[in-house]
Amino acid sequence: MLDKLGFRKTKATDQFNIEDNLEIPSHVAIIMDGNGRWAKNKNLPRVAGHHEGMKVVKKIVREADRLGIEILTLYAFSTENWKRPKDEVDFLMKLPGQFLTSYLKELIEKNVQVRVMGDESRLPEHTRAAVNQAKEQTANNTGLILNFALNYGSRHELTMAMRTLAAEVQIGELKPEEIDESKISGALLSHAYPDPDLLIRTSGELRLSNFMLWQLAYTELIFTDVYWPDFSESHLQQAIQHYNRRSRRFGGV
């Protein structure tokens, strides 16, 4: 293949990359569901699914970074997940530490900023220590924002935001009529990020399950039957292709 100037293209440039002609969403959020079911289908304990799911997180972070996604928000643990058996909760709470032990070095090299969104006060001390170390060591990075929703629940987030605004009204810093959409967005845990452009939920459930209810008002929602441990780079690319088709059909002025 010859280029415009008649030079033969190198092997690398002969390749078509799926993302070449696509609009990459700035903020992608993912509900990583189906880890337990994946394990059950293989006659493995549920925690084996969680562990496999963690490996997929690494793969998808690499791909998100390669594609030029700016913010990747991953739902790792919900406020409802405490109701699971204690052994499973204990296992899940060790995953942030395991993930970071094996992967923080690469995240630092890749200029990734690790963030956490959720009520961190209820997390075990060892989980908080791991997460804080990751946040601190990536605080000055300027690349992909890897935002873990950890002990996150949207109604709790909205409740806390309303308390914050109500307290400002009470001390006379804010008038009720000054409360608008941007004041509410600004009081949420996600205040530093734009709303997600694309939400992906794996494993076939068609629900939001208390995830970013305010922020997803205009987001493209993509549901796939694939279990999270089976989710791959190509599934992320397909979701972005769907996102492009939809925004071309409905978007614009």
Residues recognised as catalytic:
33, 81
Q: What's the CA gap between 179 and 184, in Å, rounded?
A: 7
Tell me whether residue 39 or residue 187 sits nearer to ligand V07 (CB atom).
Answer: 39
Task: Determine, following the binding rule CB under 6 A, whether residue 201 of this chain makes contact with ligand V07.
Answer: no
Q: Are 96 and 130 in contact (CB under 8 A)?
A: yes
Helix (H) or strand (E) holding 235: helix 233-250
- Interface with ligand V07 (CB under 6 A), residue from 39, 48, 60, 114: 114
Q: Report DSSP letters for 159-186, one per residue.
A: HHHHHHHHHHHHTTSS-GGG--HHHHHH
Q: What's the CA gap between 198 and 73, in Å, rounded?
A: 10
Going 83 to 85 to 88 to 93, the CA torsion angle's sign is positive
Give me 210's structure tokens: 């208390």
Q: How far is the CB of 126 from ligand V07 (least distance, A)?
A: 12
Task: Determine, following the binding rule CB under 6 A, whether residue 188 of this chain makes contact with ligand V07.
Answer: no
Q: What's the CA gap between 161 and 153, in Å, rounded?
A: 12
Q: What's the CA gap between 37 and 229, in Å, rounded?
A: 10
Q: How far is the CB of 35 from ligand V07 (least distance, A)?
A: 5
- Range 12-41, binding ligand V07 (CB under 6 A): 32, 35
Give me 184's structure tokens: 């509410």
Task: Determine, following the binding rule CB under 6 A, whether residue 226 of this chain makes contact with ligand V07.
Answer: no
Q: What's the CA gap between 244 and 239, in Å, rounded?
A: 9
Task: Determine, following the binding rule CB under 6 A, whether residue 228 of this chain makes contact with ligand V07.
Answer: yes
Using the rule CB under 6 A, give the single segment among 13-21, 46-54, 191-199, 200-208 that binds ligand V07: 46-54
Q: How far is the CB of 123 from ligand V07 (least distance, A)?
A: 9
Tell me whether residue 60 or residue 67 sits nearer to ligand V07 (CB atom).
Answer: 60
Task: Determine, following the binding rule CB under 6 A, whether residue 212 of this chain makes contact with ligand V07.
Answer: no
Give me 217's structure tokens: 């008002």
Separation in Å, CA 226 to CA 14, 35, 136, 195, 223: 31, 10, 34, 25, 9
Tell me whether residue 93 or residue 165 sits nearer to ligand V07 (CB atom).
Answer: 93
Tell me whether residue 96 or residue 196 sits nearer to ligand V07 (CB atom).
Answer: 96
Task: Determine, following the binding rule CB under 6 A, whether residue 227 of this chain makes contact with ligand V07.
Answer: no
Task: Determine, following the binding rule CB under 6 A, whether residue 76 of this chain makes contact with ligand V07.
Answer: yes
Positions that interact with ligand V07 (CB under 6 A): 32, 35, 50, 53-54, 57, 76-77, 92, 95-96, 99-100, 114, 116, 131, 134, 148, 150, 228
